[in-house]
Amino acid sequence: MPREIRDVVFVDGVRTPFGKAKGQYAETRADDLVIKCIRELLRRNPSLPPEKVDEVAIAATTQIGDQGLTIGRTAALLAGLPHSTPGYAIDRMCAGAMTAVTSTAAGIAFGAYDVVVAGGVEHMGRHPMGEGVDPNPRIISEKLVDTSALVMGSTAENLHDRFPSITKDRADAFAVASQERAAKAYANDLIQPDLVPVATRSAELGWGYATTDEPMRPGTTLEDLAKLKTPFRPHGRVTAGNAAGLNDGATACLLASAETAEALGLTPKMKLVSYGFAGVEPEVMGIGPVPATEKALKLAGLTIDDIQAFEVNEAFAVQVLAFLEHYGIADDDPRVNPYGGAIAYGHPLASSGVRLMNQLATQFEQRPEVRYGLTTMCVGLGMGGTVIWENPNWEGNAK
């Protein structure tokens, strides 16, 4: 018997402050970061009985050690959710949390769930990307993909080759702007409401309290970035200054069917419209957001002109600029990453999708004239992911 597709809403999202690899979370477990996020979601939404959570989906790229053992289930148990709440783990590299959201949202739309927790974690200080992996030698020996596809920084250099108009100066200018926007967002208290403070422990420093994003470099200048080395290619264009770093952090969000949210007294921050994932040549993985966005737009019956708020993950400045150039959007368009992005905050791989959603929800709250926005990101091994959202605060709803 055909089922009615239900509306899915983003109720709330939180994250830990992001840290530098081997920085403030050097001696903090990855699963403990996730547990903090789940507990905070329950604390912030007291009208939600814990037994109403139907699923916990948590992503991690490197699923070993304290990021292994089906982390969605173990984190749910340790966060105090009932033993009846199932959970699972997801891996789509950088788009892990985004995939946790879209996968469970599909379950809500179908009627399999009413309320879920979805998110991601990456502790790159404990588990560097690629730890313990064994790529099939056919990838190289049979030239199935360019060997540079296995080094994310090299794929960014390749993207510069594809877009010669995106110079190092442009990438550096975008990076400086990201730092400036992030600092302004902090000054206006637009980021802190979604941060979950984390108690930390260091053998050298003793107890600490992580309350802010550690990677931020306010005051960065073009002159500063011009001095940095290009580690992926001699005389290249990608540096530590115009790319996200190696980071630790976790995110989690609450999703629900629209009717369940209403029944439980939960106020939606966004409504899911559509999503799309797409593959591209692995050696230029940074272009992935373009075909993914085309898929999502087509499914939604929208065009890029309908999108008035963008949260584009800043794995590399060139990747964002390639997306903007494709759509004829200016580098400094105020609709794009107005609160800064991963170049400033950090990019703990599988966790970043929900950070984008948190910031888009803030855009929606601040800008009731905006109806549609999107979150998009490139994904390792040549993919992209995009989710389109509708603003429940849109002033047109009142007409």
What's the mean pLDDT when you consider all of the chain? 95
Residue 144: band (very low, low, confident or very high) from pLDDT cuts 50, 70, 90: confident
Residue 222 has pLDDT above 80, yes or no: yes
Residue 130: band (very low, low, confident or very high) from pLDDT cuts 50, 70, 90: confident
Q: In whole angstroms, what is the distance from residue 255 CA to residue 375 CA?
A: 16
Three-state SS for the chain is CCCCCCCEEEEEEEECCCEECCCCCCCCCHHHHHHHHHHHHHHHCCCCCHHHCCEEEEECCCCCHHHCCCHHHHHHHHCCCCCCCCEEEECCHHHHHHHHHHHHHHHHHHCCCCEEEEEEEEECCCCCCCCCCCCCCHHHHCCCCCHHHHCHHHHHHHHHHHCCCCCHHHHHHHHHHHHHHHHHHHHCCCCHHHECCEEEEECCCEEEEECCCCCCCCCCCHHHHHCCCCCCCCCCCCCCCCECCCEEEEEEEEEEEHHHHHHHCCCCCEEEEEEEEEECCHHHHHHCHHHHHHHHHHHHCCCHHHEEEEEECCCEHHHHHHHHHHHCCCCCCCCECCCCCHHHHCCCHHHHHHHHHHHHHHHHHHCCCCCEEEEEEEECCCEEEEEEEECCCCHHHHC
C-alpha 385 chain-centroid distance: 10
- 153: tokens are 């920084």
Residue 82 has pLDDT above 80, yes or no: yes
Residue 2 has pLDDT above 70, yes or no: no
pLDDT at 398: 67
Q: Could you tell me which residue, 133 or 77, shows the higher pLDDT?
A: 77
Residue 74 has pLDDT above 80, yes or no: yes
The residue-averaged pLDDT of 336-354 equals: 98
Residue 360: band (very low, low, confident or very high) from pLDDT cuts 50, 70, 90: very high
- Mean pLDDT is highest, among 118-132, 196-210, 310-324, for 310-324
The residue-averaged pLDDT of 349-377 equals: 98
The residue-averaged pLDDT of 245-273 equals: 98
Residue percentage of the chain with pLDDT more than 90:
90
pLDDT at 1: 55
The residue-averaged pLDDT of 61-65 equals: 95
pTM: 0.96
The residue-averaged pLDDT of 216-224 equals: 96
Q: What would the pLDDT profile of 154-186 be if each residue is shown by its tens digit?
A: 999 999 999 999 999 999 999 999 999 999 999
pLDDT at 194: 97
Residue 354 has pLDDT above 90, yes or no: yes
The residue-averaged pLDDT of 313-331 equals: 98
For residue 158, give the nearest of 290, 33, 69, 281 by alpha carbon.
281
Residues with catalytic roles = 94, 347, 378
Residue 279 has pLDDT above 90, yes or no: yes
pLDDT at 206: 78
User: CA–CA distance from 331 to each of 14, 170, 321 (Å)?
Assistant: 28, 8, 7
For residue 121, give the nearest of 55, 167, 156, 69 by alpha carbon.
69
Residue 399: band (very low, low, confident or very high) from pLDDT cuts 50, 70, 90: low
- 351: tokens are 């966790």
Q: In whole angstroms, what is the distance from residue 156 CA to residue 324 CA?
A: 15
pLDDT at 145: 83
pLDDT at 326: 97
Please name each of the domains of the chain with its CATH number. Answer: 8-126+244-390 (3.40.47.10)
User: CA–CA distance from 97 to each of 22, 46, 135 (Å)?
Assistant: 22, 24, 23
Residue 301: band (very low, low, confident or very high) from pLDDT cuts 50, 70, 90: very high
pLDDT at 150: 84
Q: What would the pLDDT profile of 92-108 be if each residue is shown by its tens digit?
A: 999 999 999 999 999 99
Among 23-27, 268-272, 295-299, the minimum mean pLDDT is found in 23-27
